[in-house]
Amino acid sequence: MSNADIIREHYAASDRGDLAGMTAPFHPAVRWTEAAGFPYAGTYVGPDAVAANVFARIQEDWDDYTVAIDEVLDAGDAVIGVGTYSGTYKATGQFFAARVAHIWRLADGEVVAFEQFTDTELVNRAIRAG
């Protein structure tokens, strides 16, 4: 399985709501970085930290949150996912949609690093609305 295929499988697991499938390719010391200004900004180390500080919080805070990936670009040990985030912030009832790029770094078939790039202002407008 290519590195791009591993990331496609992660996105497919995300679409199914399969947390175990999403974190399956993560190295035990994966470094996961959410963009500055994003509600869950920071760098988290390890699959459990990512699940608790990113995936669980998104589930708690948003209705119908989706990551619709249009393209997965294979650059060998780096893979880039490009798409759109969308969802409705539960506390305000405000919908948002924002383009996103994910940069994945892999070694020996495992995700060792992830970095997110998105328009955080569009996300934060949904949070501040009301």
Residue type, 86: S
For 68-110, write each residue's pLDDT tens digit: 999 999 999 999 999 999 999 999 999 999 999 999 999 999 9
Predicted local confidence at residue 91, as pLDDT: 96
Which percentage of the chain shows pLDDT scores above 90? 98
Name the residue with tokens 């060998």. 76
Confirm if 6 and 109 have CB atoms less than 8 A apart. yes
CATH class of 3-128: alpha beta
Domain ranges of the chain: 3-128
22 versus 129: which is more confidently predicted?
22
Instruction: Provide the mean pLDDT of the chain.
Output: 97
Nearest Cα to 54, choosing from 12, 85, 92? Answer: 85
What DSSP string describes 102-123?
A: EEEEEETTEEEEEEEEE-HHHH
> Does residue 122 surpass a pLDDT of 80?
yes
Q: What is the dihedral of CA 11, 14, 18, 23, to 10 degrees?
A: 60
pTM of structure: 0.95
What DSSP string describes 57-100?
A: HHHHHEEEEEEEEEEEEEETTEEEEEEEEEEEETTTTEEEEEEE
User: What is the mean predicted confidence (pLDDT) over 38-46?
Assistant: 97
